[in-house]
Every structure is written in structure tokens, then in C-alpha cells.
Structure 1
Amino acid sequence: MPLSACIIAFNEADRIGDCIASLAFCDEVVVVDSHSTDATVAIATSMGARVLQRPFDGFRSQKQFAIEQAAHDWVLCLDADERVSDVLRTSIEAARATGFDGAAGYRFARLSEYFGKFLRHGNAYPDRVLRLFDRRRGGWRGQREVHEAASVDGAVRTLAGDLIHHPYRSLEQQLLKTQRYARMMAEHDHARGKRATLAKLVLSPAWRFWRGYLLRGGFLDGWHGLVYAYVRANYVRQKAVMLWLLQNGQPVTTPER
């Protein structure tokens, strides 16, 4: 069963090589690049990937475009900061050997590295994602361009092994990234008539922290788990504040002069 790997990227010269190397078992690798200014394209091309350029207009749209360009109907979708572990590769190849056995898609756990340690508890893990699927029966659907998720019509099965994730180069990058995501989500919710309430402003961040850090055992990851839980709670706070401002007619970005 032929399999295409699809990656979206922008200025990922330090990570794209490891990502593509982990996909050596796929029949092709398609990289959709958003006009990187570093060596991302050169590295991907040198490793045999087919690189396409497309202006970025949203994570979901970019990923849907990528699978539409694939040569094969079964696709494996990764971000440039992800790579397939050896155990997951074995699981994928076993499913592939059966012709994917009537399933429409497969999900698997994502294991995130956080400042030198892999997080195995709390809200960070297992973080199962649907990334291997038959594009004829699904894809990156819906209207939300951030926190996008693939969906399929048909049976979804779970594979053993982890998708290794290296999401942040620094705390500064994480804070900037979560702020951007919070704004995009607030704008998405506002456009669809959702409202922020005083309860959401006050209680939702606290609940996100205590659910992940205590109820789901985030404290077992030591100080890494504490910092992760705190930053994620702050994301919830930022999203609620931005939605509150939008519904009260206030901008959340600096107006152009």
C-alpha cells in the first residue's frame, strides 16, 4: 500500500532534516513550505522531498493543501518539529502490510520534549492525534485554522508507539506561539458568536492548571510539569481576555497607522 508523508514548514532548517529522515519508510515526502528564508527548502530537497511553495493562510488550510498534492491516497501528516519513533514506525508498517485492514485512519500518542525532558503526564501526554488516514475518507476539515484536527468517515484505530514532538526552541518562542494561538482562537470564537464570561476569565485558567497538574499527574514530571501547566493555563487566560475585548469592541492587535 503506497504511503505519502506530508509536512508543512516555515524556517525549520534546524529540524526538517530529522523529520524527513524518520519518514524513510514512506514512498514519498511532500513538504509545503511558506517561503522560508533559511535553508529549509535546500535541506528538504537534498533529502529527496518534493517541495511546494504556498503562502500561509492557516494551519488547517496548509495541511489540507499538502494532502491534496500527495501522489497516494494514504497519507501520514507531520509538522516539521515532529518525527516518527522506531516503535511507531514498526506499528505503521505492520498496519500497512495488512492494507490498513479496513480502517479509515489511525491515531497514536504524541510525546513532547519540554526543555530537556519528555513529558509523560498531565495534559501533555498521551495527546493522541489522528495523522495517518485515507484522504478519500477524510482530511483537515472544518473552519478552524488553529488547533486543527483531521477527521475521517470510518473506523479509527490506535497504534502503539509515539510521535516524538519538539515543540519549542525556547520559553520565549513558546510564549509568543501561545499568544498567537490564543488570538487566533479568540478571533475564531468571536466570529462564531461565542462569548467570554466572568467565570471563564477567572475559573477556566485555574481549572486548566489544576486538572493537568494535579488530577492528571503533571506534578510527576517535576519542575518541567509545573512550568508547562502554568504556561498552558496562561494560554487559556489570554484566550478568554482577548475574546472579552473583542466582544466589547476592542482590538487585540496594534491597529495599522
Structure 2
Amino acid sequence: MNTLPLSVCLIAHNEAARIRRCLDSVKPLASEIILVYNDCTDGTETIARDEYGAQIFEESWHGHRDQKNIALEKSTQPWTLCLDCDEELSPELVDQLRAFIEADDPAFNGASFPRKVWFLGRWMTHGDWYPDRSLRLIRTGKGRWAGSREHDRMDLEGTAKKLTADLHHYTNPTLNDQIEKINYFADIYLQRQLDAGKKWSLSHAILRPPWRFYRAYFLRRGFMDGFPGFYAAVLTSFATFVRHSRLYEYDTTPEVREKFKPRQ
């Protein structure tokens, strides 16, 4: 089957265990694969270059948003698809992307699609984790990564079509991996609050965690995903509690104040 006028852009740090699944899924579509990598010690870049013909570029780490923009700027095809190494196109999404790009409707400068997470041995199809609609396909030059350094989003000039097929997401293969991310993102959230001059809020620390659980488990029907749905709702609630407690820790703990300081 012929490839399309499509560049696939990825960023990576030590993704050798997962990158083949991602690149296998885009191989039928992509005329160009671009990988921007940093500090790899497991041969990620070699796999991408030697097995899939990717163009590889080494960069120091600039944060998720800025690193993705570095990769995006290297695209040379009329369309660009931005993926993470722990994602893959479902067969249905491959078909829908092919039809969308071949149609080349001038009314659309991009396409979004739902992202479905594999967690604790099943696909999560309810709660806060689904549909998690993501805008990842753009006409080259019509979009750019924006948002905060840890929670990026694609800003598109023009309209995006909503596709229905799923992007598969194989994030955090173990519960330990999931929990470790809480601290990582809590650190970034604390720094962002300090930079914005925010003050600790008791009401946020008390009220937001139970609201996040209620929304995920009941309003968004996380209970339909069995115990993994319950665990995901509890985890989201706890992560929210940690984030909204960090300013209190900063105010009361000299070691934390030494490590984190407002940036001008």
C-alpha cells in the first residue's frame, strides 16, 4: 500500500522497549519519520534509523512542549502526525487517516481522535481517561505545540475534523510507574504555581480530590471499567491531593524552599 505525503514526528528518551510498536503502526502511511531524542542509552535512535529509516536528531531536553516543537519544525511533508513512542495507531485509525489525507479537504487543517489507554490488562473506555480526544494530525505549518511545559496541547490555525477511531496508548506498564509520575508532575506543578505567585489553598486541597474522584467514577462512569476504573479514579484523586498540598509543604519546609524557588 502506498505511503502518504505525511511526516510522523516523535520525541524519545530510552524507548527501545516500546518504539517498534509505534513505528510498525505508522509504517504503512508515513513518507518520513522524524525522531528527536535525548540522552538515550538503550539504542532507541538506532532502532528508529536502521529498522525504520527515520531521520534522527539529538537534542538536550527542553520539556515536552518545546521538544515536540523542535521535532515538528523538521517536518518536510504537507501533513504531520505527532505521536508519543508509547502510542500506536489502531488499524481503524490507519484507515481513517488515509481516507482523510487522501481527501485533502481544504475545510480542515487537522484531525483529532480519541485516545484509549491500556491499563491493568484492559482497555479503559470510561472515566477521566477516555475519550481523551487528541489533536495530532495537522497540515504542516498550521499548528504548533502550546500549553504548559508538562501539559502540552496542539494549537491549530483553522478547523480540525473529528475522527472516531482510537489511538492506542500503552502508558505506565506497572502501578509503580504510574505512582512515580505523580511526584514528577507534582514537582512541575509546584514550580508553575511559584512562578505565578500562587498561595496555598486549604479549600483546594480538601475539595478538589473528592470532586475528581466523583467526576471520574460516577459522572464519567469509571465504574464501567471494573477495578481498573476504580483504581484510576482513586489515583487521579490522590494525585490531585498531592499537587494541591505541595505549596503547603513549600511554606513549611526549608529543604523544599531551597530546592524550589520562583523564577522570574
TM-score (norm 2): 0.91
Residues 158-169 of structure 1: pairs in structure 2 closer than 5 A: 158-169=162-173
1:213 aligns with 2:217: yes
Alpha-carbon spacing, 1:206–1:33, altered in 2? closer, same or farther (3 Å): same
Letter in 2 for 1:49: A
1:15 aligns with 2:18: yes
Return structure 1 stretches of 4+ with deviation > 2 angstroms: 193-196, 243-256
Matches of 2:40 and 2:10, distance apart in 1 = 14
Name the SS of the counterpart of 1:55 in structure 2. Answer: coil
Query: Contact 2:119–2:173 (CA<8 Å) still a contact in 1?
Result: no
Residues 126-205 of structure 1: pairs in structure 2 closer than 5 A: 126-142=131-147, 144-205=148-209
Query: Contact 1:242–1:252 (CA<8 Å) still a contact in 2?
Result: no
Matches of 2:192 and 2:252, distance apart in 1 = 15
Residues 71-150 of structure 1: pairs in structure 2 closer than 5 A: 71-142=76-147, 144-150=148-154
Deviation at 1:57?
Answer: 1.8
Uncovered stretches (5+) of structure 1, i.e. residues with no partner:
none
Matches of 1:198 and 1:111, distance apart in 2 = 34
Matches of 1:37 and 1:63, distance apart in 2 = 20
Deviation at 1:87?
Answer: 0.8
Matches of 1:3 and 1:219, distance apart in 2 = 39
Aligned-residue identity in percent:
33
Matches of 1:158 and 1:136, distance apart in 2 = 20
Name the SS of the counterpart of 1:13 in structure 2. Answer: coil
Query: Contact 2:217–2:233 (CA<8 Å) still a contact in 1?
Result: yes
* Map of 2:6 onto structure 1: 3
1:36 aligns with 2:40: yes
Matches of 1:14 and 1:129, distance apart in 2 = 24
User: What RMSD, in angstroms, separates the aligned Cα atoms of the two structures?
Assistant: 1.9
Query: Contact 2:75–2:140 (CA<8 Å) still a contact in 1?
Result: no
Q: CA offsets per residue over residues 39-88 of structure 1, 9 Å max, x none?
A: 21121112211111111120001100000011124210000000111111
Q: CA offsets per residue over residues 190-216 of structure 1, 9 Å max, x none?
A: 212333311110110111011101111
Name the SS of the counterpart of 1:230 in structure 2. Answer: helix
Letter in 2 for 1:23: V
Uncovered stretches (5+) of structure 2, i.e. residues with no partner:
none
Letter in 2 for 1:10: H
Query: Contact 1:105–1:157 (CA<8 Å) still a contact in 2?
Result: yes
Name the SS of the counterpart of 1:106 in structure 2. Answer: strand
Q: CA offsets per residue over residues 5-24 of structure 1, 9 Å max, x none?
A: 00111111110011011111
Matches of 1:195 and 1:146, distance apart in 2 = 21
Letter in 2 for 1:87: E
1:53 aligns with 2:21: no
Name the SS of the counterpart of 1:111 in structure 2. Answer: strand
Matches of 2:244 and 2:254, distance apart in 1 = 13
Name the SS of the counterpart of 1:90 in structure 2. Answer: helix
Letter in 2 for 1:217: R
Choose 190-199 or 229-238, whichever is displaced more: 190-199
TM-score (norm 1): 0.93
